[in-house]
Structure 1
Amino acid sequence: MKGIFIDIEKCIGCKSCEIYCAVSHSASKQIFSAVFEDPLPAERVKVESYNAFSIPIQCRHCEEAPCVDACPSGALSKETETGIVAMDQERCIGCWMCAMVCPFGAIIPKMDSKVIIKCDRCPDLDEPACVNACPTNALLFGELSEVMKKSRKKAAQITISAIKNAI
């Protein structure tokens, strides 16, 4: 199963991921045309700043997805093959229960239509638009086993660095 890994130490807060996410979900798929669309295309990733860090917030497609359990209409479902939490716009009743229970704050209520939008991991692309747009490689996409291996290596490097600095 594939997933997106976020290396917050590399994120510079440029918001390229937001822009290219919105463009990839626009009708035109072109940055200069997308800004004139009505309604404007919405991004499914938001970069939040906290202290000295910028953190891309997007659906983590949780293994045990509380949003799926909270959805009374069945608009959200977990795809067994890909692990993606999928959204059916036609079934969404706009109650926003999913947004309330999302532990990452990654489900975005659309005020104009009362439904929600969330990361769909760009199913029509080989790599999600946000990952492809990131100039610092703060977003990585790949098999979860490989991504987790990189994550563990990074955690080990941080731990070793902290120990060296403490000595």
Structure 2
Amino acid sequence: MKKVYVKEEVCVGCRLCEVYCITSHSKYKDVLKAFKLQTQRPTPRIVIEENKPVSFSLQCRHCNDAPCVKSCITGAMQKDPSTGVVICDTDKCVGCWTCVLVCEFGAIIRDVNNKVASKCDLCAEAGEPACVKNCPNEALVYSEGGISA
């Protein structure tokens, strides 16, 4: 399964991954419209960790044995058996935050606008994650086997 990997040595913490994540999950799918016209913007599904000079983005690892799926009391967190992608069905999510507590990577975020869990879905409809596609330094890589030197 393809996943997003981070090359922290080239990440400058510009947060464009967040901007494009928000844009790709907005109703407009356009940066300016998403930020100027959409009154309630989506929560970015990526977290930027910074401790200068090191910075990197953090997103769901889509674990094989996903603790968030196992702990979800409503079945909102599900692993797609054909793709391996862990998704959150926001219609089923009750905002108990159990998934946030059990994620050892800190990759699940509380979407305070909608009071549900929010996490990377690898931009499933787009084919390639928006964060990877728009990273100016190519600090994010979408691949099957990690980062090659």
TM-score range normalised by the length of the shorter chain: over 0.9
Provide the aligned length of Structure 1 versus Structure 2.
148
Offset at residue 86 of structure 1 (A): 1.1
Q: How does 1:28-107 map to 2 (within 5 A)?
A: 28-35=28-35, 36-107=37-108
The structure whose RCO (Cα within 8 Å, separation 6+) is larger is 2
Asked if the contact 2:4–2:142 (Cα under 8 Å) also holds between the matched residues in 1, the reply is: yes
Distance, in Å, in 1 between the alignment partners of 2:95 and 2:41 is 19
Q: Which one is further off, 87-96 or 33-42?
A: 33-42
Hey, which of these two has a bigger chunk of helix by percent?
1
**Aligned-residue CA RMSD (Å):** 1.2
Offset at residue 81 of structure 1 (A): 1.8
Q: 5+ residue gaps in structure 1?
A: 155-167
Counting aligned pairs with the same residue, the percent is: 43
Dislocated runs of 4+, deviation >3 Å: none
Q: Which one is further off, 45-54 or 113-122?
A: 45-54
Larger radius of gyration: 1
Amino acid corresponding to residue 10 of structure 1 in structure 2: V
Asked if the contact 2:72–2:98 (Cα under 8 Å) also holds between the matched residues in 1, the reply is: yes
Offset at residue 126 of structure 1 (A): 2.3
- Deviation per residue, 1:75-133 (Å, 9 max, x gap): 00111221110111111011010001111111111223221111000011121000001
Distance, in Å, in 1 between the alignment partners of 2:72 and 2:135 is 32
